Structure 1
């Protein structure tokens, strides 16, 4: 392993020769150490014990999520997306010592809500990406599969949409919204197959 000269520039560690935080020429990345440094600086030297949660961040996330929900209920979907995105950014920026499960739970809910707002705006690809993120974070949650099914259906990928909805129904067999969406998707799939014959 070769030795790389380091330098501090704009409060970040960079390679001294090329002044890059991620340097392909030196084959080095200082992103993680810079991220840790940023988190440690934010505590003003008061690093909490492992597992401690800073309540202000949780309050900010909850406030932004509720703001997004209010916009969504008022059918102001673009504003809801902005609020959910702000909350997602705050959740992603949680310090490294906080429990990862907390961030995963927050992100799953926020991505699911933002996916719903994208669906309302018929932004199917964005809705799909967020739904995939929900499933990655919280696989057994039926809402993620419901959003994925709706997004796939909107993209014209009916068979995959039906499969996603069926999987969601396996996690929550009593879900009326998934049952309704599945019935509509299966009807549309049958109609499409009849047209193709």
Structure 2
């Protein structure tokens, strides 16, 4: 099926329905528009494959550190805002940059934001971010620790224990997971497998 295209407000859209994502035509032009936006930002100088824009990395690092500073000062909402801003910038990396860089940044930022949500007892948000961390960086025990904490907060104690045990499999020496498992056993009467 062919679809007529049109440029509308500097975006490719379906000519008939004027939609970037057109359910009637079963087409999405989001990726084309994202690529166009990124290429326009280069002012005609296309970087070589794998090139990283240092300014973006610096912005992300600065916002992450701002979030960490707010978190240490127990200004958790401000920390969440800083981490969210950094996440948005990391998600918006140009398509030619290495995906591993964005995955690493996003895993750390989501993990930090999950901790801030836990501090605010926003368990569902903490859970969602922890799941994102595990999706991006499964062997990192800190994501499983955050997931366990969120699950405990949601009253899902047995699942929380399982999340902590999985994290311990990736990092058997993790003192924070060992401590959390012991506390769960004492608090909820759930026994940890030896």
Give the structure-2-normalised TM-score: 0.96
Q: Which residues of structure 1 form unaligned runs of 5+?
A: 192-197
Match of 1:10 in 2: 9
**Whole-Å Cα distance in 1 between the matches of residues 173 and 23 of structure 2?**
52
**Whole-Å Cα distance in 1 between the matches of residues 93 and 45 of structure 2?**
16
SS of structure 2 residue aligned to 1:14: strand
How many corresponding residue pairs?
A: 190
Report if the CA contact (8 A) 1:22-1:30 is conserved: yes
SS of structure 1 residue aligned to 2:7: strand
Structure 1 residue 189 displacement after superposition: 2.5
**Whole-Å Cα distance in 2 between the matches of residues 117 and 3 of structure 1?**
48
Structure 1 stretches of 4+ with a deviation exceeding 3 A read: none
Match of 2:102 in 1: 103
Match of 2:30 in 1: 31
**Whole-Å Cα distance in 2 between the matches of residues 186 and 123 of structure 1?**
23
Report if the CA contact (8 A) 1:13-1:34 is conserved: yes
Q: Which residues of structure 2 form unaligned runs of 5+?
A: none
Match of 2:149 in 1: 150
Alignment of 1:185 with 2:184, yes or no, is yes
Report if the CA contact (8 A) 1:84-1:113 is conserved: yes
Give the structure-1-normalised TM-score: 0.95
